């Protein structure tokens, strides 16, 4: 049972989320470009350079179940308003930490920024609340496509603001405040339903343990975790690697911009491919592209190879993550929505938290020199890709056995 069968409301909501991705979403590439560099300048131990990124993802992980329950009970708007408030407050505190050269204060701001990141993660789920089964994968794909503008706007804002004030990066974080304050009004135009309590009482759905025993839900979560964690692992360390090899922040911004474009550009057709070929095949292609990204990273530290590795990384994330999200969205009842989405984002962002923290350790502390550190980051991708590939293969065997 779905809330409605018409896609008029769904298409309106998709447009709202595309605008939100393009405006407020610009803050994420901005923070991911500069978060590690700012952390490296503030931390006494460079092993903790990527800790600000880790704190953002940790904040997202801790917030996801709370926002899922609030949105289930009071509607999507309240969650997205809270996300904008968290993003603005986090940027204010982060700016204060930069101004006072306080790493702990900067980390606190990063933690609160995770509230926005968590809310942004629900855009894709909210887009399917009023969507028909056919339109669901397209809705998810179109919403993520809104990140294309963010991929252009965010890095360009970094170039303009990074050194616009005496204190490096301070103007960037003040710009993030403005993005959150201005962007929050777009959610007034949302038309999303609130889950009816009577339906939830009559059809309470499966327990969390039972949901995790569903093969499709389990494999979808594993593939989403691996796709997102590996994307974050490499992207977080890329600015450190590029600057460490003697290039400047603008070059790092250009590489990250190309990466984010690759993340979202395929979204114009990923949904159509899923409808035609199935989510499982698209996820498999995504995992293969992530493998190619790691192999390209091994090839060297020249700028063209950074571009190649990060573009492949973005493409792999798109196919893997959109495919996994679609598989998940088709695997639960409306009354199970909060449980599944909360668990999914808790586990996804939990894995991303570990990946972002590991990124700094692998880059700066696992070996001597930038080149060896970059190789360590790429090497760490291989076993996780193996786990996701095996899970997907196991699911295909389950489907074949059930067909007999």
Question: Residue-wise pLDDT tens for the chain (404 aa)?
Answer: 344 446 788 888 888 998 998 889 999 889 888 888 898 889 888 878 888 988 998 898 889 888 888 888 888 889 999 999 999 999 999 999 999 999 999 999 999 999 999 899 888 778 877 777 778 777 877 887 777 888 788 889 998 999 999 999 999 999 999 999 988 889 988 887 665 544 445 556 788 888 888 999 999 999 999 999 999 999 988 988 998 898 888 898 899 889 988 988 887 788 889 989 999 999 999 999 999 999 999 998 899 999 999 999 999 999 999 899 889 988 888 778 778 888 888 888 889 888 888 888 888 787 678 889 999 999 999 999 999 999 999 998 887 666 55
Q: Are 252 and 241 in contact (CB under 8 A)?
A: no
- For 62, residues 6+ apart whose C-beta sits below 8 A from its C-beta are 114
Per-residue pLDDT, 342: 80
Tokens 């929050």 -> residue: 184
Per-residue pLDDT, 132: 78
DSSP 8-class letter at 266: T
- For 157, residues 6+ apart whose C-beta sits below 8 A from its C-beta are 26, 30, 172, 175
In a domain, 1, yes or no: no
In a domain, 254, yes or no: yes
Per-residue pLDDT, 321: 92
Q: Which domain holds residue 272?
A: 8-186+198-399
In a domain, 191, yes or no: no
CB burial of residue 44 (10 Å; 0-12, 13-18, 19+):
exposed
Per-residue pLDDT, 80: 94
In a domain, 341, yes or no: yes
Q: Are 222 and 387 in contact (CB under 8 A)?
A: yes
Q: Are 260 and 314 in contact (CB under 8 A)?
A: yes
In a domain, 171, yes or no: yes
In a domain, 149, yes or no: yes
In a domain, 385, yes or no: yes
Tokens of 124: 């894709």
* Among the listed residues 361, 325, 362, 271, the one whose alpha carbon sits nearest the alpha carbon of residue 45: 361
Q: How many distinct structural domains can be found in the chain?
A: 1
258: domain CATH number is 1.20.1250.20
In a domain, 143, yes or no: yes
Per-residue pLDDT, 401: 65
């Amino acid at each position: 049972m779905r809330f409605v069968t018409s896609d008029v409301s769904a298409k309106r909501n998709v447009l709202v989320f595309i605008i939100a991705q393009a405006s407020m979403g610009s803050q994420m590439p901005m923070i991911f470009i500069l978060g590690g560099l700012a952390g490296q300048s503030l931390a006494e131990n460079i092993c903790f350079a990527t800790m600000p990124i880790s704190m953002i993802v940790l904040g997202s992980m801790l917030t996801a179940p709370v926002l899922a329950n609030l949105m289930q009970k009071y509607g999507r708007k309240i969650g997205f308003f809270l996300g904008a408030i968290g993003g603005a407050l986090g940027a204010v505190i982060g700016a204060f930490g930069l101004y006072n050269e306080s790493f702990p204060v900067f980390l606190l701001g990063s933690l609160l920024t995770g509230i926005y990141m968590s809310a942004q993660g629900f855009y894709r789920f909210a887009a399917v609340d009023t969507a028909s089964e056919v339109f669901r994968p397209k809705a998810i794909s179109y919403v993520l496509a809104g990140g294309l503008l963010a991929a252009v706007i965010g890095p360009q804002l970094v170039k303009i603001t990074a050194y616009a004030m005496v204190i490096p990066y301070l103007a960037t974080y003040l710009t993030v405040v403005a993005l959150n304050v201005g962007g929050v009004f777009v959610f007034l135009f949302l038309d999303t339903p609130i889950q009816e309590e009577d339906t939830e009482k009559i059809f309470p759905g499966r327990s969390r343990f039972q949901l995790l025993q569903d093969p499709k839900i389990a494999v979808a979560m594993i593939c989403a975790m691996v796709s997102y964690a590996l994307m974050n692992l490499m992207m977080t360390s890329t600015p450190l690697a590029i600057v460490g090899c003697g290039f400047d922040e603008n070059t790092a911004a250009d590489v990250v911009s190309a990466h984010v474009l690759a993340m979202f550009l395929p979204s114009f057709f990923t949904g159509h491919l899923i409808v035609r070929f199935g989510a499982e095949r698209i996820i498999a292609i995504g995992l293969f592209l992530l493998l190619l990204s790691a192999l390209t990273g091994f090839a060297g530290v020249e700028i063209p190879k950074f571009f190649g590795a990060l573009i492949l990384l973005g493409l792999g994330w798109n196919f893997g993550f959109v495919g996994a999200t679609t598989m998940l969205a088709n695997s639960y009842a409306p009354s199970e929505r909060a449980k599944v989405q909360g668990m999914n984002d808790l586990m996804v962002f939990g894995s991303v938290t570990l990946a972002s923290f590991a990124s700094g350790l692998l880059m700066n502390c696992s070996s001597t020199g930038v080149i060896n550190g970059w190789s360590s980051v790429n090497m760490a991708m291989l076993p996780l890709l193996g786990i996701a590939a095996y899970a997907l293969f196991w699911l295909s065997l389950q489907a074949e056995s059930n067909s007999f």
